[in-house]
Amino acid sequence: MANPSLFQSIRGALLPAATARNEAGGLAYVREPKAALALYAATGCLNGTYYADGEDQLAQVLALSEQVDPAFVARTAVYTRQVGHMKDMPALLLATLASRDGETFASAFPRVVDNGRMLRNVVQILRSGRTGRKSLGSRPKRLVRQWLDQASDAAIVQAAIGQQPSLADVIRMVHPKPADARREALYAWVIGKPYREELLPEVVQAYEAFKRAPDGVPSEGVLPQMPFQYYTSLSLTASHWKTLALDASWQTLRMNLNTFARNGLFDDAATAAAVAQRLRDPDRIRRARVLPYQLLTAYHASAGSVPEPVREALQDAMEVATRQVPVLDGHVVVAVDVSGSMASPVTGYRKGGTTAVRCVDVAALMAACVLRTNPSAQVLPFDTGVRTEVRLNPRDSVMTQARQLAALCGGGTSVSSPLALLNKQKAQVDLVVIVSDNESWRDTRHGGATQTMHEWAQLKARCPQARLVCIDLQPVATAQTVEREDVLHVGGFSDAVFDAIAAYAAQGPGATRWVDKIASMAL
């Protein structure tokens, strides 16, 4: 038999050499500008992360946007808004186009600005001067006016929630021309000018009458169907809070559990049970298009304030929401990075608004979701090595499995370690999924290819059909692997990630690449 070490070395020599260092100092590959921009857009929230702050992210995104054509910037904005459900990054990418390519900006505007919050985000970024201009300019003003003209009364009322800028500020900036007296009255109500109340939408009239209750305390009875936020500053009775909770949309209920708890809603066991029943209702969950990440966020945020029966309903909702995770053929391995840097909040550090959900929580959730529909899958948590002391029970709830994995968080990072273990075991593998922030440093080499690429080449020699999916949870410009036919890069933590894995697992090299899918988005 020929010397295996010799031929392994020859095979390794053909691997592409790493030409960069990541933020942790380890060898890495520089991403292509389109791939890097897509990753920043799908994972970046313009807040501080473990290795970089919001200013660094902003500078990277602006630089990358200049390196790719405006059409791809626009399509990335559309993809991350419509598929990735991001907010700040799509608005930023759209704003960069205002001074670079007006026609492309106009084409992407209605696809990205799909509600009042996104409208305000884009206006805020444009006026900040960070994307090349401090005023809106004629074309952006026209598009903002068009949005206001075409918006329903309900959309205007919803858009009036929030500040910096408020919708009132936006209206004063662009001076929309009301189509009739009713819209004129609504604009006046938004900006605080005198208005004829009888011309307001009926629900707004009812709300204004509701606020004028004797002694400032609204009377009992059915509440006007205004957005939840309009009531949080009012003096409400227990009956009113119950009405708000039981009339709220599923997503509004999920997002405001702590507010309801602070106002004593759950002091009544029957009301708590009714809320729990709404949260676990499969039909409501499907209609709300609930993401597992959203449930994880609610579960973490409600700890200590929301009663356990209600939090248990969130776990039940998770089981419903994860039923759509695809079944994957063959021997599947999910490697979960539980190193110290994964303790960073997944949406970054933000003064007064840092999420309780860490990167490791999301990575663990992804692994648990795959295990739920693929009970024979092997889960390998790793830091500098594989943490073999954990054995997950596929029958446990998704929340329980994710909590077990996340509890391991700490230590250095060797992204290659799960591949090294599989090679040591001579395991037969069809699909490996690595969920990480890619800041590998403990397995760094003096030169040549990264250790992850060396280990993958060795695994491929034994399992030529094997494919590798690298899921990145943080906005970084480097990677531990080179994307090629047998290696797929995906970024983010929405359901779109599971769709990409399923397509790649089923179609192999012929599957549409993540960046190609973004490039194919219609404008």
The tens digit of pLDDT for each residue in 239-291 reads 899 999 999 999 999 999 999 999 999 999 999 999 999 999 999 998 888 87
Spatial CA neighbour of 367 closest among 331, 413, 402: 402
| DSSP classification of residue 193 | -
Alpha-carbon span 252 to 257, nearest angstrom: 9
b vs e for 225-236, b when ≥16 Cβ sit within 10 Å of the residue's Cβ?
ebbbebbeeeeb
Alpha-carbon span 486 to 233, nearest angstrom: 55
Spatial CA neighbour of 518 closest among 129, 213, 72, 63: 72
* Longest Cα–Cα distance in the chain: 94
Written as one letter, the residue type at 300 is H
Place of tokens 């206001």: 148
pLDDT given at position 238: 87
Alpha-carbon span 378 to 65, nearest angstrom: 39
Three-class SS state of 431: strand
Spatial CA neighbour of 340 closest among 360, 354, 355: 360
pLDDT given at position 48: 55
For residue 167, the Cα-to-chain-centroid distance in whole angstroms is 25
b vs e for 346-373, b when ≥16 Cβ sit within 10 Å of the residue's Cβ?
bbbbeeeeebebbbbbbbbbbbbbbbbb
CA distances from 127 to 53, 146, 164, 191 (A): 22, 19, 11, 19
Residues in the chain where the model's pLDDT stays below 70: 1-13, 45-53, 214-221, 348-354
Alpha-carbon span 473 to 150, nearest angstrom: 37
**Is the distance from CB of 28 to CB of 21 less than 8 angstroms?**
yes
**Is the distance from CB of 164 to CB of 121 less than 8 angstroms?**
no
pTM for the whole thing?
Answer: 0.86
Between CA 222 and CA 230, with CA 224 as vertex, the angle to 5 degrees is 120
Spatial CA neighbour of 145 closest among 179, 117, 112: 179
**Is the distance from CB of 295 to CB of 321 less than 8 angstroms?**
yes
Alpha-carbon span 257 to 245, nearest angstrom: 9
**Domain range annotation of the chain:** 237-324, 325-519
**Is the distance from CB of 203 to CB of 231 less than 8 angstroms?**
no
CA distances from 497 to 205, 312, 468 (A): 44, 26, 14
Bond before 165 cis per omega within 30 degrees: yes
Sequence-ordered list of residues with C-beta below 8 angstroms from that of 281, at least 6 positions apart, any chain: 250
Alpha-carbon span 347 to 84, nearest angstrom: 13
| DSSP classification of residue 484 | B
| DSSP classification of residue 15 | S
Count CB neighbours of 78 within 10 A: 23
Task: Give 338-384 as a DSSP string.
Answer: -SGGGGSBTT-B-TTT--S-BHHHHHHHHHHHHHHH-TT-EEEEESS
Written as one letter, the residue type at 468 is L
**The domain made up of 325-519 is a member of CATH 1.10.150.120:** no
> Strand 487-491's sheet: what is its strand order?
378-382, 332-337, 431-436, 467-472, 487-491
**Is the distance from CB of 413 to CB of 24 less than 8 angstroms?**
yes
Task: Give 208-236 as a DSSP string.
Answer: HHHHT-GGG-PPSSPPP---GGGGTTS--
pLDDT given at position 6: 42
Spatial CA neighbour of 491 closest among 506, 501, 504: 501
Spatial CA neighbour of 348 closest among 340, 356, 336: 356
pLDDT given at position 222: 73
- Beta partners for 381? 336
pLDDT given at position 288: 87
| DSSP classification of residue 434 | E
pLDDT given at position 491: 86
Alpha-carbon span 327 to 466, nearest angstrom: 17
pLDDT given at position 218: 60
Alpha-carbon span 514 to 122, nearest angstrom: 25
Question: Burial level of 378, CB count in 10 A (0-12/13-18/19+)?
Answer: middle
| DSSP classification of residue 162 | -
